[in-house]
A and B are shown apart, each in its own frame.
Chain A
Amino acid sequence: MATHSNNQYYVPHGSVYPSIISVGLLSLASGFIFSVATDRSKELAYLQAPGKWMMILGALLILAMVFKWMGSVITENITGKFKGWEDKSFRIGMIVFICSEVAFFAAFFGALFYMRVLSVPDLAGYDTDITPYKDFLASWPSIGPGGNVLGMEYTPPANFHAMSAWGLPAINTALLLTSGATITWAHWGLIKNNRKQLIIGMALTVALGIAFLACQAMEYHEAYTEMGLTLKSGAYGASFFMLTGFHGFHVMLGTIMLIVILIRCMKGHFTPEHHFGFEGVAWYWHFVDVVWLGLFIFVYWL
């Protein structure tokens, strides 16, 4: 009885890459901790330099191993090791992975809603005679600590204002939505076996991704230099930069993956029937797109 299109499940040979990646992560994490250890005690300043080297070493190790690991997966794919049954595993796995990413962003959206709806208004309601945060400006967007807080003197930036939705962010929304359309157009090209449409569509998607990242970099630069909007700008600054920052990081990863897929398209790795690599990255890209819509509405607009 054959419930699967093939009857052999491919179990890959042993691989040393995963354990080396773990060593790289250990080096990256402890290097980071050493490099910021001076934040708590000044006498640990001597750890800063070795910490940075550990981070660089760890990152290089991880990059090299990811490169090798993905390389062996691609080789296995080209040599026909993966058929319908394995393909289905990758599909389910990718969906579950994206679900876990959704949960990660949900934590930051949750923090945003909590601070905006609960903690900032609560702080506004306290009796100024008993609160240690007398000069806290309890409005949204919050400007951050102000005046004397528990013995520490804060001076809020004079030129502070919030990021408007209808400048660069609106352009970024258009860029990402268009890229979602171009990648789908490329996918249609792949299914129709129209290589020209596929490659042009993918190249456009990559270009739109890079344009998005460039706009985001401009926006951050403007925020820091002209608007007095930084990570330290209280609840608003923290949630703004952490949400858009993690999203931007995901766009960067997505763009790198799109570039890899573009190269693989040009090498002719994909067939109209068999192209999970392409689809997995496309799903990821749509996920990044949807998260951006949430950001645009809740961080920039409302």
Chain B
Amino acid sequence: MSTTTVAHHDDHAEHPTGIMRWLTTTNHKDIGTMYLTFSLIMFFVGGAMILGIRAELFKPGLQLMNPEFFNQLIGVHALIMIFAALMPAATGFANWMIPLQIGAPDMALPRLNNWGFWLLPPSAILLTLPFTLALFGIGDGALATGWTFYPPLSVQGGIGVDFAIFAVHLLGISSVLGSINVIVTVFNMRAPGMTLMKMPMFVWGWLITAFLLIATIPVLAGAVTMLLTDRHFGTHFFDAAGGGDPIMFQHLFWFFGHPEVYILLLPVWGFIPQILETFSRKPMYGYKAQVYSLWAIGALAVVVWAHHFFTAGMPVPALLYFMYSTMAISLPLAVLFFCWIKTMWRGSMSFETPMLFAVGWIILFGIGGLTGLVLADVAADAQYHNSYFVVAHFHYTLFAGGIMGIMAGTYYWLPKMTGHMYSEKLGKLHFWLTAISFNMTFIPQFFLGLAGMPRRIPDYALQFAEFNMISSIAAFTLGLSQLLFVYNIVSCARGGKKATDKVWDGAQGLEWTLPSPPPYHSFTEQPVIK
């Protein structure tokens, strides 16, 4: 490798400071930091909303809020957690780590990258503004349909629905831009010698995520556009009076919505094996099998959508097809689970915080996956549909499988990003508090759902009182424990024991060859992979 400079900037010497640095930046690490910070803030905004819900559900009867406000909190909680907390966190890691892991100077399209981030604050404003407007007598608050926007309720709803529609549009543009950037970076910016089958698993996970986003986010944009014209311009897409069908919206929505689940999880399935191999001090088991499994899941993700509304009414052959194809996803997922466990098998393991989160993640995400298999069964789903069983299931996949995975990644890469070690003691405390209170929150909800408690209802029958009380107390513990997460991150960013370049002694990959924190321009010399 000749020693050539690969990053070339207009402004070598200086870049703006203060707010202008962040507004104008084209640097992948700055943009990644903004994504991660935004995600953390919105995690608490969405969390505060759901604590309002859990406070209302603490005991039967209506205590704190009217049912309309309850519904609004439910819908906006979901939209914020999915679009403004989980997705930006994954995109933040993509920005930070993909160029480092493939030996690139930066992301391929830096200015689009900046735009991708700066679309997020306006969308967050659009999502939450209706609450504020309602205080001034404008409209009746945010959307009260749940995050799925089902018509006819969403066609009849107030201006909160319009705000959510446009928030989804801006978030969609942001995701498409982010995906374009990831795909171009992966295909065009890899260091010499880094073939596709040598890429770190995280890069693979994100590449497939990006393809899924490109295929499905525009469909969501189309669906909510039809909703908008049904609301304001007299079209009949979702109105049977004119030949349309409300269930068509469910098809369009879940054509996006189901792949969205994998969009949230694939990046995590990417870096969890890297954490496992680091702390097991042996190479990842079954690299190729994992890559092929990720592809298989990505492909299956777009052909199983109707299992989200088995009870809406469908011909029996369609029910059977969607049931079998959904269950087929468990095959590649089982391969992944096998590889994750085999990676740890007979390794010399140590349990630093990222490893604790990763191992806990395997168990909890496993529960989420297995309960999903129960819901995929058409006959069983007739009983469980729209019950708390579903709520518990998707929190095991998205809170445990998504957010706890992101936490593992945060502790794993925090020393690399800040140059300091976090407090191992507090990190472990954070893990145990999170894991225990998470299970205490959601295990009761499985039983509530099996006993017949419906979701999205502010009141419930007396026999559900004990489990709801346990769940609410645990939810507040879970929420408060996350303050420890913020404390850990902030104190690590401000100082602490210096981190070495390699940070973890089993760490593998290009990002660990750079200093901690890495220089402003990552790889000014592209490394050569043998």
Binding site for B on A (CB under 8 A): 1-3, 7-19, 21-23, 25-26, 29-30, 32-33, 36-37, 39-41, 44, 47, 69, 85, 88-89, 92-93, 96-97, 99-101, 103-108, 110-111, 114-115, 118-120, 122-123, 132-133, 136, 138, 142, 144-145, 149-150, 154, 230-239, 241-242
Contacts and interface: CB of A to CB of B under 8 A. Distances in A.
B9 to A, nearest CB: 5
B115 A21 contact: yes
A149 B244 CA distance: 14
Interface string B108-135: 1111101100110110011001000000
A88 B184 CA distance: 9
Interface residues of B, number: 87
A103 B179 CA distance: 14
Contact of A88 (B188, B218, B237): B188
Nearest to B234: A232
A105 B7 CA distance: 38
Nearest to A22: B118
A265 to B, nearest CB: 25
A119 B162 contact: no
A11 B6 CA distance: 10
B25 interface: yes
- Secondary structure class of chain A's binding surface, majority of residues: helix
A11 B215 CA distance: 28
B299 to A, nearest CB: 15
A235 B243 contact: yes
Interface of B: 1-2, 4-11, 15-16, 20-21, 23-27, 104-106, 108-112, 114-115, 118-119, 121-122, 125-126, 129, 138-139, 157-159, 162-163, 166, 169-170, 176, 179-181, 183-184, 187-189, 192, 214-219, 221-223, 225-226, 229, 231-237, 240-245, 248, 251-252, 255, 521, 528
Contact of A19 (B24, B108, B233): B24
24 contacts: A12-B10, A14-B11, A14-B15, A15-B26, A19-B24, A19-B118, A22-B170, A89-B108, A92-B183, A93-B112, A93-B181, A97-B180, A100-B176, A100-B179, A107-B218, A110-B252, A119-B244, A122-B245, A136-B240, A149-B241, A150-B241, A231-B233, A234-B236, A242-B229
A119 B162 CA distance: 26
A13 to B, nearest CB: 4
A2 B138 contact: no
Nearest to B245: A119
Contacts of A2: 2
B244 A22 contact: no
A191 B189 CA distance: 28
B119 A22 contact: yes
Contacts of A37: 138-139, 159, 162
A106 B219 contact: yes
Most chain A CB inside 10 Å of its own CB: which residue of B16, B162, B187, B243: B243
Contact of B11 (A13, A36, A47, A234): A13
